[in-house]
Amino acid sequence: MTDRIPSTRGSRDGPALRTVVHTTVPQPRPPEEHLLQVRWTRWSEDLLVVSATGEIDLATAGRLEHALCGDLPAATVLDLTEVAFLGVAGLRVIETAAARARAEHRTTGIVASTRPVLRLLHLFGVDAHIPVFQHLATAIREVPKALPTPSS
């Protein structure tokens, strides 16, 4: 924001005006635990629901990645219905987790209902190889059915 204030020096045309720029001090970004919360819910022996709330971007993607690591059950549902922003870093975490699940003969599904999240999943083609559901109840019912059958 700029204001014009009269200068103490004048000229024959009147007082000279000088520009004063008011700067604002940027506020520090809240810690990542306030930007993204991740919760595990063990739905059954073979089904884990990982729910994310907040923003998944470069600063917070590590929290989601940590939640999707380790010894996971046969089926994992990633609930993104409370995610307001999904960045490419978050998308990379989701893709990596799904690829790992396929390699380990597990299955993954995503629940998303917000336009920004659905749009990014569609633009990058994630919805072509990871099932995306609008409702958690549907995902909980369908994702375990998609488990690969062990080959004999």
Residue 83, domain CATH: 3.30.750.24
In this prediction, residue 65 carries a pLDDT of 95
Residue 16 lies in a domain: no
Query: In this predicted model, what pLDDT tens digit does every residue of 93-112 receive, in sequence order?
Result: 999 999 999 999 999 999 99
Backbone angles phi, psi at 44, to 5 degrees: -155, -175
Backbone angles phi, psi at 65, to 5 degrees: -60, -45
Domain count for the chain, please give it: 1
Please give the Cα distance from 25 to 27 (Å, whole number): 6
Please give the Cα distance from 86 to 68 (Å, whole number): 16
60 is in which domain, residue-wise?
32-146
What is this structure's pTM? Answer: 0.75
Please give the Cα distance from 61 to 137 (Å, whole number): 25
Residue 11 scores a pLDDT above 90: no
